[in-house]
Amino acid sequence: MTKTQIMDDFKSFVKEHGVSTETVNQFIRQRKADNTDMLMTINAMKEYADSTKDELLVSEVFILMTDFNEWCGGTMKHLSKTTQNMYGDEVWGKIFKDVKMPEVGWTADDLSDFTYKIEQKYLSATTKENYECAQKMGNPFTRSFTDSDKKHLAISDVDLLINKLNTKFLNALRKCHKSGELFFNQKIDDVAMKEYETGRWSMRREGSKIILTKNPYMMSKYLTETDNKLKRYYACHCPWARQSILTDKTVSKSFCYCSFGHDKYELESAFGRQLDGRVVCSVLEEGNIQCIFEVDIPDDIKE
């Protein structure tokens, strides 16, 4: 079967069954049952979804791309390797021994269920603190820096950097709003753009901390949704945990240290070093409708 044939099949399947997580999951399961090449299948689904510019369809397919994305797709492999290096073979064995790692073609349900089970095994084998530490050190966005990489910034430069990154983010959104192109997965309509322009989703400085408020995965859905659980679902970006919000086996916010690593990536590039911080709150916790991270500004560049 060719990529074009898969695209045509997916188009017909969506037309018949409608756009939903279950539609995408059913199509993937059918392709797997037919022994269709899953990498080609996911690529074909994404290409068709992108052509429609349908925010919901693109969002459902986009989140599957992390299965084979080297950064995000390697999340569990990184966590496994880091766990073994930090805590030894005995602890590692209780969590990861004989575990089949996720592969291309796993659905969002599969990924969330896998994450929940690994997390429960982790918390049985060691402490929550060790789990969070491994997430910090073992996420795919962690890099090593040398002393020569460090840039000793003046205090005004920290504020300038924050302003520069916020402007870059807003300009990308404005461009999509004007052109009609999707911002990754989401349509930036008038309502979404107005919300972004408020600055509520921009990074800010509070003394010795930089506060990162993660923008929702689907802003328009997020703003109009009144059900708390669904609002949290529309906020979450994580392919490994998002689906768990809709179940009684929700992944904990400790897993969000992976997302924290992603969101502080540009700051670490600017400062030339790893930055410490914490997950303040997460939509994986019942009652929270935002993910908020704190990044500590290094002591040598504080005022």
Question: What six digits make up the tokens of 5?
Answer: 């044939």
Q: Which residues of the chain have pLDDT under 70?
A: 66-73, 143-156, 302-303
Residue 143: predicted pLDDT = 67
Residue 206, beta-bridge partner list: 209
As a whole number of angstroms, the distance between CA 72 and CA 201 comes to 23
Q: Report CA-CA distances (Å) from 121 to 124, 127, 137, 139.
A: 5, 11, 19, 18
Residue 209, beta-bridge partner list: 206, 296
Residue 67: predicted pLDDT = 47
As a whole number of angstroms, the distance between CA 82 and CA 74 comes to 12
Residue 152: predicted pLDDT = 46
Residue 186, beta-bridge partner list: 183
Residue 174: predicted pLDDT = 98
pTM confidence score: 0.89
Q: Over the chain, what is the mean pLDDT?
A: 90
